[in-house]
Chains A and B, each alone.
Chain A
């Protein structure tokens, strides 16, 4: 399977605990994105990497959130001191440069986080 993979698929944690999610992008894609999706809504952008550099962060990404892509391949998203409001689907996507500078993003299956 050469698509975007995410691990774990589901995570249940207690409020106040830290969680870490992993994303493995499509191997030749240099761009990697994290989104968050709550029930009944579309995905909302969190952050974006080009190779190992984190180039953009949304205001949604509070200081409890940190993302890394140390070698420009896989990425991790950590949430510290989780809150019930963090419960959501966390989606990872990757892309490579397409025609006329457009970037089609390919999404992984997501990690569903439930904070109790």
Chain B
């Protein structure tokens, strides 16, 4: 079974707006990663945040992590049509070698 749960399941915004996606998980983690997947393709790694970090930035992406609430958020600022994709959070548990993925948020950016 998958550990993570993303919210919302689908999000539709206008180009230029910000998009926020949330992820909740159930057990202790070593790190949390966000991935993007365009329709029918492989996953692209976006950003990794370790359990002792609270916030991380990469370009237009901002990720936060609250281990006390077992939750993370991904903010995409100034969205573009090319950001249209599914976004997944994935957790790596302490001592675990695999990732547990959520069900994803389907983001649509309308030009």
Contacts and interface: CB of A to CB of B under 8 A. Distances in A.
A40 interface: yes
Interface in A69-116: 89, 91, 93, 98-110, 112
B2 A44 contact: yes
A102 B48 contact: yes
B42 A56 contact: no
B81 interface: no
A106 B45 contact: yes
Between B42, B44, B48, the greatest number of chain A beta carbons within 10 A of the residue's beta carbon is seen for B42
Contacts, number: 67
Nearest to B31: A102
Chain B interface secondary structure, helix, strand, loop or mixed?
strand
A11 B101 CA distance: 25
Give the size range of A's interface with the partner. Answer: 20 to 34
A91 B92 contact: no
Given A31-B97, A101-B30, A102-B50, A43 B43 contact: yes
Given A41-B103, A42-B2, A102-B50, A56 B88 contact: no
B103 A103 contact: no
Interface in B81-101: 88, 90, 92, 97-101
B41 interface: yes
Contacts of B40: 89, 112
B97 A109 contact: no
B88 A110 contact: no
A21 interface: no
Contacts of B42: 4, 91, 107-110
Given A107-B43, A109-B42, A41 B92 contact: no
15 contacts: A31-B97, A35-B101, A41-B104, A43-B101, A44-B2, A48-B97, A48-B98, A56-B97, A89-B40, A101-B30, A102-B30, A102-B50, A110-B41, A110-B42, A112-B40
Given A4-B42, A31-B97, A42-B102, 7 more contacts: A41-B2, A42-B103, A44-B2, A44-B101, A56-B97, A98-B48, A105-B99
